[in-house]
Structure 1
Amino acid sequence: MTPSLSDLTQALLDAARKAGADSADALAVSGTALSIEIRKGALEQAERSEGVEIGLRVLMGRRQACVSASDTSPATILALAERAVAMAREAPEDQTVGLADPSQLAQDWNLAALDLADPAPEPGPAALEEQARAVEAAALGANGITQVEAAAAFSRRALHLAATNGFSGGYGRTSVSLSAVAFTGAGTDMQRDYAGESRVYLSDMPDADSIGRLAAERALQRVGSVKPKTGTYPVLYDERVAASLVSHLLSAINGTAIARGSSWARDLLGQRILPAGISLIEDPHRPRISASRPFDGEGLATRRRAIVDDGVLTGWVLDLSTGRKLGMPSTANASRGVSAPPSPSTTNIDLTQGQVSRDDLLAQMGTGLWVTSMIGSTINPTTGDYSRGAAGFWVENGRISHPVHECTIAGNLRDMLRRIIPANDARPHLSTRVPSILIDGMTIAGA
């Protein structure tokens, strides 16, 4: 009989104690994943994977070591523990490592309220292939589309975390996705664009035809792209790419970067970093959302908080270790896998939406660039200097003029974020909900 994930973590902890560890935590993860890819009308790839992985972190005083394996036999667990203890004894001391105090641990969480796992049977390969082919057919039905790459995927994952401080808990989650990349033209005139959707529940997915049609529509809109003018213009980040601006901010306020003193945001705590009236909220408890979780990677209870409140930065993104380095409590943002110690990361993020539509912002910007896709990234983490390749549409007098590509937009994140004007078009089902964003005075390098 295959041991449960909780039994595996308990076996790892018992082995760690037997090997001489002062304290330890253990993670066991099981997963099943199925993916189908269709290209040029043919089945390009059908892949299924399943398995269990285990990870053990042991602490010897202020020294720690992590080990992992995909073999869950008792002999492997004993060997892992002995190896981890031997490694920890040779590791350098770190005064900030250590498990949570028992008083900090999460208790009595409500998994049913989070609704993270679809109870329906997983779709089989034939059902996923049918969906992928439906997406492909819908995209190819648009006049001018020459090729489509379609994909469908499903995964079911479960984890259990336990530690010698008394914590023990686990949960599962599911994910289903459907996407298409549509191509038009040939050679140097070829253009492409995509559309895709992902949900926790299969029943919440939009129909395949709408995804295929949207991918085709977006690709056809790219026909005739040219380089835009070089100069200083307003830039409207489409909702599809606007979340990247928030991700740059979250990286800058991550406790790891702050503790190292290597972030452009290191001196901005308590200061205004977004316009007045705009907040950045983390809410790990949104139901049926992929990044929701009842506790973090160290067993601390997750909670809703305003990372930025009315434009003012209220705190960093911390786990226990980075919190200790900065003399602050953890914000319950620890994330981890089986092979590495915890590190800080966020869950569900919401940027305050504006009062106007994306079309209203297009009219407001006058002449400038509407960015719908981005490639490459040159972000200086210390200074916040920003430069990214982009494509989209040129806007003249508030109206879309023509598609553009092969340009670079540049600025400084500290200044850019203080000038953002959000629209009201954030999609509600996303983990990171960020609407289209207008920023004036950006440098555009094109023709």
Structure 2
Amino acid sequence: MQVTETLNDGLKRGYTITVTAAELDEKVNAKLEEFRPQVEIKGFRKGKVPMPLLKKQFGQRVMGEVMQETIDGAMSAHFEQTGDRPALQPDVKMTNEGWKEGDDIVVEMTYEALPEIPEPDMKAIKLEKLVVKADEDEIGEALGKLAETAQVFEDRRKGSKAKEGDQVVIDFVGKLGDEPFEGGAAEGYPLVLGSQSFIPGFEDQLVGAKAGDEVTVTVTFPENYGAEKLKGQEATFDVTVKAVKAPKAAEIDDELAKQFGVESLDALKSQVAERLEAEFGGAARAVMKRALLDVLDETISFDLPPSLVEAEAKQIAHQLWHEDHPEVQGHDHAEIVPTDEHQKLAGRRVKLGLLLAEIGRKAEISVSDNEMTQAVMAQARQFPGQERQFFEFVRENQAMQQQIRAPLFEDKVVDYIFELAEIVETEVSKADLEKAVEKLDEE
């Protein structure tokens, strides 16, 4: 086998790989010899089939396997010897298209090599970490929202009409025609109007009812209703309204705290403060991460593979075009040509992506199976009832796995740099932090 360099221009590389016919024949014979003991052909004992007959029967198929294995092996040996790492999958093609058995194989391989990436002095990086402490107003606002979720209901004044959001306490009997149906009756049932917890249209017909009213509600069961005999059927409900109650936020006291699993209001306040400060911390981390990326972009320079930049620019242009044209769902549209601004943004993303990947590689940072599982579970929760299908989709889709793994890896590398960098904490207000976050979206 012979490997000859044909191109060395910047990051572009080209090589011709020649595999002689004699070498191919030797490899084919060796592979046939490997499985000859298992071959059984009529007229010959198992393992005693002559090589010429083996070649006639299996030679063409084995030749294809040998050609692929030989070329793959030559490429692997080349990358191991040169230390090159291709930016994208190398372009490999046979140059002698009229190849026939007995000819040498001549393959042309071209690719863009990843550049030498300088290692930044991470201990020399200086960053500011914004720190926001939860104040009494913010804690009080959060407690108020918790109280609303833990609302109670109190009787409205006698004669008040029920409105959406109120709770009505009802007795009811459901009928198909004149006959009550199984499971269609209850007494003292608390129903919040507007909750959509009953058959569509049921709650609407109780708006305006008063305690003591008797109302006949007529509804049609949906076609996909669980009970087979009720699907699509029109039914009436004889409803007696026993009480009309208005919603009221729970009192912010120890009883509210107990509803949320803590012993006292002070303990609940501490828990709320911790949650708020964790949210502030997440926002502050995003601001500090952007500052870090800006520092790396400004201080580190190296050649970028043009193919990666071009591919990234096209993806950016395509994504932004669809954001501007949400009415276009598919990709049946004219070609979108990246602008200079797209190219500039693509260059930054490619540079930072390669740099963080190299830092992570040298620091032996990786994403564990458990971390991947947790991330997939988090995304699966966005598809209630279809979690299993989502897991299967991810398991069988390498591109989706990489899409989930990439941000996990990036964040681990960023945290690694944070540990080495010099970080100064600055206490600021919530408003100042919000302005810093808004600025991220503007850039």
Q: Which of the five TM-score ranges fits, normalised by the shorter chain? A: under 0.3
Higher share in strand: 1
Give the number of the structure whose alpha-carbon radius of gyration is greater. 2
Higher share in helix: 2
Q: TM-score, normalised by structure 1?
A: 0.22
